[in-house]
Amino acid sequence: MPAISVVMAVYNGEKYLKEAVDSILNQTFTDFEFIIIDDGSTDETLKILQTYTDKRIIIVSNERNLGISHSRNIGLKKARGQYIAHMDADDISLPDRFEKQYLFMEKNPEIGLCGSARIVFGNKSKLTIPFLNHEEIFTRLLFSCSIFQPTSFQRKAINNSGIFFDTNYKYAEDTEYFIRLGLNGVQFANLKEPLLKYRWHQDNVSVAHKGRQQKDAARARLHLFNALKIKNPDSKHATHIQLRYNNSLLKQDIIEISDWINELIQANNKEQLFCTQKLKKELSRRWFKVCYKSSNHGLWALRTFYKQSIHSYYKMGTWQKFKFLAKCLLPGNLKYKFSKRSNKTSAK
């Protein structure tokens, strides 16, 4: 029985497939099986896979395209390893990924799933370091996912307990999966070191299906609202989205966000779903951005920020305080007029 089962679903992935497969076969930790589910590809995907002779590779070929969640579940059910390493067919695992994640999980038996930082390459280039401890990772799921799916490394016991991907979440299946794991008591962690190169391109779900992904993720967050016993959680969706994205808002919208923050805190005080301090810190950061980006309302935005008790959890530096005050004293429309007048003066 292998120590690790690697599960990778691929659909029409011929362009980057070889790089992804080779990055797994070249791992320094070699005790694994590699389950690759060809999800009814119509390109050269299957032919490329069939050129490999490594006995650790197990190819499962779907007769038709079933979707990423269904295909991943096929792999999870077939897996025999103590651990499962997730992988996407357009990314590259760094050579020591399995070695480091395996050792971490062996040393930390309370952790059910760990991810890592990632190196984004392709159409974008950056290093992304997520939150590292469970409390912050789980709290952040209220707004976004702080585990990068292709870096995730989990215990097989999770699936043995009957938890799999929900096929009803086509574009945010990973976010929904992690939320359900957290609600079922699974502890998360992330390694600060990047262990995967994440390829950013136009066919990424977050690029090609951004709107649908956001809708699916919003549906997934209803699990959290229900766990908090929020009344009529569907009616809070629009306000939560505004808190999440922090755009310039109307005064009434900002007041509703303040009320929503209070409702979240009160619900959590009662249900103890999230770490209180982490939740308040996350909410205060987002509350500041809401008020800061709405400084076109003048000093009202500044006063409203300080009226919300959560403001004390956001630690502003001196320069940030000055910028916030300056933006409120000189709202956007006045800035525009001032800028326009300055341009006319310099033109003369």
- Looking at 140-154, 223-237, 241-255, 296-310, which range is the least confident one? 241-255
Q: Choose the final residue of a domain: 159, 179, 211.
A: 211
- Looking at 60-69, 82-91, 105-114, 330-339, which range is the least confident one? 330-339
Considering the domain architecture, whether residues 161 and 41 belong to the same structural domain is answered as: yes
Rg (CA), the chain: 23
Residue 255 belongs to a domain: yes
Helix, strand, coil shares of the chain as percentages rounded to 5? 50, 15, 30
- DSSP H or E segment with residue 311: none
Residue 348 belongs to a domain: no
* CB count in 10 Å sphere of residue 27: 21
Q: Report the number of distinct structural domains present in the chain.
A: 2
Considering the domain architecture, whether residues 92 and 206 belong to the same structural domain is answered as: yes
Considering the domain architecture, whether residues 320 and 245 belong to the same structural domain is answered as: yes
Q: Which domain CATH number covers 188?
A: 3.90.550.10
- DSSP H or E segment with residue 61: strand 57-61
Considering the domain architecture, whether residues 191 and 249 belong to the same structural domain is answered as: no
The model's pTM is: 0.88
Each residue's pLDDT tens digit, 12-46: 999 999 999 999 999 999 999 999 999 999 999 99
Share of the chain above pLDDT 70, in %: 92
Task: Please give the residue range of the domain that contains residue 30.
Answer: 4-211
Q: Would you state the pLDDT for residue 333?
A: 46
Under DSSP, the state recorded for 146 is -
At 332, the pLDDT band (50, 70, 90 cuts) reads: low
**Mean of the per-residue pLDDT values of the chain:** 90
CB of 183 closer than 8 Å to CB of 227: yes
Residue 223 belongs to a domain: no
At 310, the pLDDT band (50, 70, 90 cuts) reads: very high
At 147, the pLDDT band (50, 70, 90 cuts) reads: very high
Say yes or no to pLDDT of 234 above 90: no
